[in-house]
């Protein structure tokens, strides 16, 4: 593989992550990092990027030494200004990534009670902020059975215990405060399915459409290449990437069916797209992929300038 192209230099450079962190901080400052909600959002974004560093170190999602996954996550999040304030989308993304890290540790382990319990615990805590996250729980069980080969009766009950545990404490708190209606109301949100009407999608503005279009378009290019060349990866890495790709499809499907949850699902989509894009840019070396990488940087930079310009016009 040739490694003298711009994308390869960026993928293997030790300065990529610090530069990405610096640019992301500048973008946050351009909108107003001095407010508490944006400062906390910046901190959660940095924590998620750190989790991607640890996940790559522990599970080798890319065959070469690269910090491109957290860098791409920081760059996309920095350019998407609606993700800057502290919100459920950022918190849920961080918790879902933590669940990935723990779930990957169960790969082909017959006694994977601890990692699966803690993975589903993170998923359960995330569902306190976004109840629809519980819809992913059956797929997590399917991942452990098909991709990770770690599902047994013991790990099944460990998963159920981890998923239910946050609600056990939540129910106890609301019983103590004599406000149990809020607990049942949390689950009522799961059956509130917004009817699929054209009007539901007309509420999206140009920035939202541009953002989701860019993320999905570049992810599709990367995903198709990853599927076509998956034989180059180890079986273990291949299963991890298939899991992430399946999650990506589910997130897009839920976003298409329930656009009312766009804000939270966008945060999840950006977090989930980062390893797919980094795998593509780090392990390819052609003129086309180099052009796609430059276009990726340019388009998200243009998106950030559009966000800044829109905000200046509102002053």
**Rounded (10°) angle between helices 68-79 and 262-282:** 140
- In this prediction, residues 273-283 reach a mean pLDDT of 94
pLDDT (tens digit per residue) in 4-28: 788 888 988 989 999 999 999 999 8
Mean pLDDT lowest for which of 185-199, 201-215, 249-263?
185-199
> From CA 26, how far away is CA 48, in angstroms rounded?
18
Cβ proximity of 65 and 12 under 8 Å: yes
Cβ proximity of 170 and 128 under 8 Å: yes
pLDDT of res. 32: 64
Tokens 């350019």, located at residue: 79
Rg (CA), the chain: 20
Distances (CA, A) of 168 to 28, 126, 175, 184: 37, 14, 11, 13
In this predicted model, which residue has the larger pLDDT, 179 or 256? 256
Q: How many CB atoms lie within 10 A of CB 49?
A: 25
In which band, very low, low, confident or very high, does the pLDDT at 1 lie, cut at 50, 70 and 90? very low
Question: Which is nearest to 66 in space by CA: 8, 147, 107, 6?
Answer: 8
Q: Which sequence spans correspond to the domains of the chain?
A: 6-102+205-314
Let me know if 236 is exposed, middle or buried by CB neighbors in 10 A (0-12, 13-18, 19+): middle
Tokens 């570049």, located at residue: 218
Distances (CA, A) of 272 to 93, 107, 159, 216, 254: 8, 19, 22, 11, 14
- In this prediction, residues 175-200 reach a mean pLDDT of 76
> From CA 153, how far away is CA 289, in angstroms rounded?
45
Distances (CA, A) of 60 to 63, 76, 91, 275, 284: 6, 22, 24, 11, 17
Tokens standing for 16? 């990529």
pLDDT of res. 3: 58
In this predicted model, which residue has the larger pLDDT, 32 or 5? 5
Cβ proximity of 163 and 120 under 8 Å: yes
| Residue 85 DSSP code | S
Tokens standing for 262? 């766009």
First to last CA, the chain: 50
Let me know if 149 is exposed, middle or buried by CB neighbors in 10 A (0-12, 13-18, 19+): middle
């Amino acid at each position: 593989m040739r490694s003298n192209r711009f994308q390869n230099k960026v993928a293997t450079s030790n300065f990529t992550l610090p530069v990405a962190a610096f640019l992301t901080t500048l973008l946050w400052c351009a909108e107003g990092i001095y407010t508490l909600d944006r400062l906390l959002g910046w901190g959660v974004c940095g924590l998620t990027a750190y989790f991607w560093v640890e996940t790559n170190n522990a599970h080798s999602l890319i065959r070469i030494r690269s910090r491109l996954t957290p860098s791409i996550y920081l760059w996309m999040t920095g350019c998407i200004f609606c993700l800057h304030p502290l919100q459920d989308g950022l918190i849920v993304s961080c918790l879902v990534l933590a669940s990935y890290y723990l779930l990957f540790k169960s790969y082909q382990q017959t006694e994977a009670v601890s990692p699966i319990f803690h993975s589903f615990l993170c998923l359960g805590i995330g569902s306190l902020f976004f109840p629809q996250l519980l819809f992913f729980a059956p797929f997590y069980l399917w991942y452990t059975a098909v991709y990770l080969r770690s599902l047994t009766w013991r790990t099944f009950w460990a998963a159920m215990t981890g998923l239910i545990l946050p609600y056990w404490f939540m129910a106890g708190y609301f019983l103590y405060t004599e406000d149990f209606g809020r607990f049942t109301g949390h689950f009522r949100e799961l059956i509130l399915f917004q009817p699929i009407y054209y009007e539901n999608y007309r509420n999206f503005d140009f920035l939202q459409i541009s953002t989701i279009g860019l993320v999905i378009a570049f992810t599709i290019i990367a995903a198709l290449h990853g599927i076509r060349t998956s034989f180059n990866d180890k079986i273990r890495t291949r299963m991890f990437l298939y899991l992430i790709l399946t999650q990506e499809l589910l997130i897009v499907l839920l976003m298409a069916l329930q656009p009312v949850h766009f804000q939270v699902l966008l945060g999840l989509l950006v977090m989930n797209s980062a390893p797919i894009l980094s795998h593509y840019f780090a392990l390819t070396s052609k003129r086309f992929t180099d052009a796609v990488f430059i276009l990726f940087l340019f388009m998200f930079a243009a998106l950030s300038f559009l966000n800044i310009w829109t905000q200046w016009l509102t002053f």
